[in-house]
Structure 1
């Protein structure tokens, strides 16, 4: 748009969904006037599609595993039967209920509690549902993973039953079926018997390496425990690396830099097999591989396609999916299959339906009535339909895809500037900053006490901070937390920290509050908007302040940069290669920092003076 007044916007998506109203909304918001849909069978796509040979590898569950599964199935059915006796899940059977159904029941029951319905049947049904979910997860581990993962899970539940007040865990170990399953699992584990998938994947990788030396293999599995277990098995026959997300679970987690290093080594053929959780399905630059192995099927068509798409890019590829007979593996296989078929049917229907959408001049909004994405980054939108003084709002980068921002963009006198904020999500003036959360995020932050650290930072940086919580669900039924505990947390935020809270239902309502507060602060009270919420006092704070003002840096990276280079002078003398060595700094960010620190100062005025 900086080069041409008559620019074009092109958008691409792998899956547009099937809701025509939502598609119409996207088309209107992005000024889209024409739509094209392509599938693998289209003539202009077919030449670029490489063949993928898909093989389903079937395995039988060993007798001892099947016996343990029988005990767990009976335990699960007993929980569902008791829930039905309490008057819930009528007309349903244990076999046709999914985990989502049970979680949905839990949410409904907690909502009943929040409304004051404290009947014994409701509270008991909530506990039984929690027990059912735990048993259901145990069945999944036994059927699809290995006895090692299941034993770890059962040991964790046993510790909970002894050392915590979690009633669901305590009740499970009073259940004779569940206790029998645990006893048998321990016997299987002690005997050294493994899930046959482990032997099968070992045989499969051995054959693939023999048939195609130098090939690269990507193994997908759902659980981190299984990543370690599979990698341990394969280390006897190949060079293997484990790959998973950044979140620290049981002390394990890969930083972004560690992930990048592992992928670079994989690309350079420093090892043969990468065993990964779902983190490698999308969003990461995974090198092209020759073979993809699913340790278990996934019920999602999108995830199935993403996993499968990691091979067959430049040459034909092969995909192997391990399936345990007469288990949820088979259900997941057909679930993904039917969902994928349905997706293509929907796309075919969309081709016909979308052509009927009137996307011409009458339905496309006037381009001068709405700000574009360019307004986002430059902070210099056209002053069209401005109601007066522009209302400037600084927004944290992490909120850039939110519906609240889209609502703010539709307001004619709002200027949005994206920045990396150390505190809060929306800066409305030098005194007002809003910490924005959905109801589920808010309750989660109460559980891990993160909200109090955020409240402390808000209060330290701003004289009038606000916490905004958005959502239509009942806050007391979002998580299994005592209502008075939530009320106590909210009371503490309002009285101890003296931070008011605003509860909203929709993004539009949230945006309206943000706009009105910002307008009041800036237009009526004449307050300025500043990215830096407090003036630095010490030398090190001043240094961080200066470095954080560099684009792409912000407060989050200023300290690591200064700690690494030691001074602003050394940072200014750093080369791009030196900057890239730091975690969270890629080539593009490094070049931006280097250019700011090393480019000659040029403005129209300075040019004229030199001339």
Structure 2
């Protein structure tokens, strides 16, 4: 606080002139030649921070990401982490920011399997600012390809060509390039600075219920319009609830198979009445329905032996 007026070598007239001068004085609201304020608001404690200066720290983190070093670096940097199971994304920073993290090896693998396309599609659907974080190894070069390998044409075997095609399909997708976990921490802090804190419960539910609901909407079409004989209708009413529960569980299981999402699951349900029928589909039929990459991936999953012979 400024010292009392009676302790300073100034007159009351000088203070009154400072008050009455208002905006005409270059030392508005001060006395002692502009060195001391006329009043100080002490109602806000010194240790309190205003809303504008509050550091936003909450991040929803998928539990599978704790196998990497990034969550521990985020925690050391002052972030509050909520370990949850996320359907969409690996990190949710705010109501608008969802981040899918890829190491270099993961990036190449996700391009090969087609999984990155599905992940980008889901993030773009539910968040205003979907982000793909490419997490480089600090001990290796900060590049995807050797500059000598770059060309002016789109090539199937070029990761940079695949990145270009990905951004063409998803213009809202933002690419974050990070040299290591400490730089990722700085990027996350910058993204969170002017946005509200993440709603943890909402981030968990994103993509969870809608996927199953989307399949339920097609039940009348896919079910083939099966009818119940009026003579035995009373005897079968008790089994309807059980049948519905089984169907719902099967749909939920279908969505959890490798490479399956709501869109291509509808194609499978149009030709298969059960999971048992799905497992009997030949490789060529799966490729025609799902595409060559996803079809092969699902066929391998369904037919590969559990134990080595």
TM-score over 0.5 for the pair:
no
TM-score for the superposition, normalised by structure 1: 0.23
TM-score (norm 2): 0.44
